[in-house]
Structure 1
């Protein structure tokens, strides 16, 4: 499953901070990449505006939901993030108003992509 995460409202360095936070998680290392941005014809290049995360196991899904929640709480109250599950088109937003439920909101969005709970053990 591919998940895209973007900063809807926050500081300029929030996406880089989130990238560093996620890649410091052992179970997410190598799964997190900066999203590709196509520059306009008159631009030399553009900064990435999202992160793309490849998740396959239940453990990685749970680690992702936990890491995003911890990072968001660390940056609160000035950040709002959007998590989109590519395969299903499901999108959730997390900000200061729902940080208390952030892990559950993200886990449900991710779990619904496979039709099972995000904290369910990986099959295999």
Structure 2
């Protein structure tokens, strides 16, 4: 199971900041990758980047939620997190206004895509 994180506001400098922030966490270090994603035909723009985080357990989800909450609380940006397990996926958007609910939102997305309750 993994989480794909992208910036809704498409501020590429903020994605690099988030990548560095996630790498500082001992639990997430080595689980985070930057991935170039080509847009589909008809989409505006070129290649964008997302961050992918391997979520081996529910504990990793809680760590990711806490880390995202702190990072977002000091910024005016919005991120989209999609948790995927095979064919099942769930997307949530988190910003500074709902950063405190990040743990609940990510836990619900994790559980509805096949993670343990």
**What TM-score, normalized by structure 1, do the two folds share?**
0.76
**What TM-score, normalized by structure 2, do the two folds share?**
0.80
Equivalent in the alignment of 1:99? 99
Equivalent in the alignment of 2:80? 82
State the structure with more CA Rg. 1
Runs of at least 5 residues in structure 1 that lack an aligned partner in the other structure: 40-45, 118-124
**In structure 2, distance between residues paired with 1:74 and 1:27:** 22
Structure 1, residues 13-64: CA drift from partner, whole Å, max 9, x if none?
Answer: 110011011111101111000013359xxxxxx7652101111022212111
CA RMSD of aligned residues (A): 2.1
**In structure 2, distance between residues paired with 1:13 and 1:115:** 32
**In structure 1, distance between residues paired with 2:104 and 2:71:** 15
Equivalent in the alignment of 2:58? 58
Q: Given that residues 34 and 48 in structure 1 are in contact (C-alpha distance below 8 angstroms), is that contact kept between their aligned partners in structure 2?
A: no
Q: Which has the higher strand share?
A: 2
> How many residues matched?
109
Runs of at least 5 residues in structure 2 that lack an aligned partner in the other structure: 40-45
